[in-house]
Amino acid sequence: MVDKKFKIGNKIFNSRLIVGTGKYKSFSECAKAIKTSGADIVTVAVRRVNISDKNKARLMDYIDPKKITYLPNTAGCFTAEDAIRTLRLAREIGGWRLVKLEVLGDKRNLFPEMIETLRSTELLTKEGFKVMVYCNDDPLMAKRLENAGAVAIMPLAAPIGSGLGIQNKVNIKIIRQQTKLPLIIDAGLGQASDATIAMELGCDGVLINTAIAKAKNPIQMAEAMKLAVISGRKSFLSGRISPNLLGSASTTNRGII
């Protein structure tokens, strides 16, 4: 299989690893981890991270938006109205139109509220936003989001910040088969092997925040995730052998003594 470019909307990115900017001890630690990860895109929670008040420490002072693509997201939003208002604000602040939509259903589990998510996607698309959508791993809803104009489908692997890894490989495979959009695992990964598995399932990329930011050594974990994504993609493109319950000798019986 020949690899294709990692393209979202009309923009091509080199790294298939997207990194979040929350939960780090400091902006400087965040910036170092992102540099080590090689990520081209970072997510920014518009409601939580300072990107406009010049009198306080700003993320932009540490991560240059001219070199790294900022992906404003709607973390902390529980209704379509809040999410849409937040992204309109992001557009006014930085002119951003490529955005990550996240509409949550409850504060405990942080699962996506899919009715509000679908409604938000439809409205934002009509306003000219290019919407990357955090969603559950339901293939039917993923298809509805695609039909609504989403530019990327981002199903969770497990609850946000849980570190449980991919819980439903079957649904991820089905979504992969049915969509031509970029498929990016978002939420729930905990270690490098989880990122590799996501890529081996055929996902186009992964978004990781907590697993890096809250690791005992975030910088080293950022490098591990970078290598895991590369390794998983190469494994997927190589074409794995067919699973078999029985053993198969590595050499033939030809010339046996």
Q: In the predicted model, is pLDDT for residue 73 greater than 70?
A: yes
Task: Give the pLDDT confidence score for residue 255 in this predicted structure.
Answer: 64
Closest to 162 in 3D by CA, of 231, 201, 222, 208: 208
Task: Measure the CA–CA gap between 9 and 59, rounded to whole angstroms.
Answer: 25
The single residue of 100, 143, 169, 234 carrying the catalytic annotation is: 100
The DSSP element (H or E) to which 17 belongs, if any, is strand 17-20
Give the SS3 label for residue 87: helix
State percent of the chain over pLDDT 90.
Answer: 74
Task: Give the pLDDT confidence score for residue 54 in this predicted structure.
Answer: 73
Helices (H), 61-215: 80-94, 114-126, 139-147, 169-178, 192-200, 210-213
Class of domain 12-238: alpha beta
**Residues 12-50: pLDDT tens digits?**
999 999 999 989 999 999 999 999 999 999 999 876 666
Closest to 194 in 3D by CA, of 220, 174, 221: 221
Mean pLDDT over 223-245 rounds to: 92
Mean pLDDT over 124-147 rounds to: 95
Contact 219, 33 (CB under 8 A): yes
100 catalytic? Reply is yes
Q: Which residues are paired to 6 by β-bridges?
A: 13
Task: Measure the CA–CA gap between 159 and 166, rounded to whole angstroms.
Answer: 10
Which pTM was predicted?
Answer: 0.89
